[in-house]
Structure 1
Amino acid sequence: MIRSLLIASSLALAATGAMAQEPAAAPAATATPPAAAGDALARGKQLAYTCQGCHGVVGYKNAYPNYHVPRIGGQSAEYLANALTEYRQGKRKHPTMQAQAGSFSEQDIADIAAFLSSLK
């Protein structure tokens, strides 16, 4: 029953030409719309989630080999981006960090650096 009514309505509109009409043109914009906000911080937060496992624990030291894990929250974005890039390129030697950074794109590194540098 409902299907029949929909078909009948469509046929009636087509017969009157209502369906063939072009939609009205939108009024001309008078001002430039604001640029879309990026999601570097949100994306960086998501990507940096695993970093907390080592870098977010105060006084954390790995059992073997024994090394201090630096806190990276609040560090400068430039420093963080350079460090991740150097781990990715193999210029800095640390197997875990090389494995982590090796999977990041340039944009990933920029987003992670933006997020981590925003922390206090």
Structure 2
Amino acid sequence: MIRSPNRHPLLAGCLALLASFAVQAQSPDAAGAADKGKQLAYTCQGCHGVTGYKNAYPTYSVPKITGQTQEYVVNALTAYKKGTRKHPTMQAQAQSFSDEDIAAIAAYLSSLKK
């Protein structure tokens, strides 16, 4: 006898509902994420918020991070966190952030005008 995959539609529906709750629990709402990101990105202003986008010591250009896409910020911070993108200060900063923190920072920075 061949059993139909829809033999237990109520069970399948419950599993789908639970899966959607799990996804929602992992994704903070956009406004909440941006608020948290604003707090976390405060220290970023030390280098990325200075006039002319140059750090005082050593002298080198730093990228403008306001208005970047969420994807760009997440990818960059994740690469620094994993050590695949090299810069000692950025690696130390990124390693202090959880994946949720990185997503929040990206939400905040991408909401700002360039």
What TM-score do the two structures reach when normalised by structure 2? Answer: 0.69
- The one of 34, 41, 44 equivalent to 1:41 is 34
Q: Is 2:37–2:101's contact at 8 Å kept on the other side of the alignment? A: yes
Q: Which residue identity lines up with residue 41 of structure 2 in the other structure?
A: A
- The offset of 1:64, in angstroms, is 4.3
Q: What secondary structure is seen at the aligned counterpart in 1 of 2:54?
A: coil
Q: Structure 1, unaligned stretches of length 5 or more?
A: 1-34
CA distance in 1, matches of 2:53, 2:93: 19
> Aligned runs of 1:14-33 on 2, under 5 Å?
none
Overall identity of the aligned pairs, in % = 71
Structure 1 position 102 matched with structure 2 position 89: no
Q: What secondary structure is seen at the aligned counterpart in 2 of 1:59?
A: helix
> Aligned runs of 1:26-105 on 2, under 5 Å?
38=29, 39-105=32-98
Q: Which runs of 4+ in 1 moved over 3 A?
A: none
In the TM superposition, what whole-angstrom CA distance separates every residue of 1:12-48 from its partner, at most 9, and x where no partner exists? Answer: xxxxxxxxxxxxxxxxxxxxxxx9x831010000000
Q: Which residue identity lines up with residue 105 of structure 1 in the other structure?
A: S
CA distance in 1, matches of 2:55, 2:61: 7
What TM-score do the two structures reach when normalised by structure 1? Answer: 0.66
Q: Structure 2, unaligned stretches of length 5 or more?
A: 1-23
Q: Is 2:67–2:111's contact at 8 Å kept on the other side of the alignment? A: yes
Instruction: Give the number of the structure whose residues are more often helix, by fraction.
Output: 2
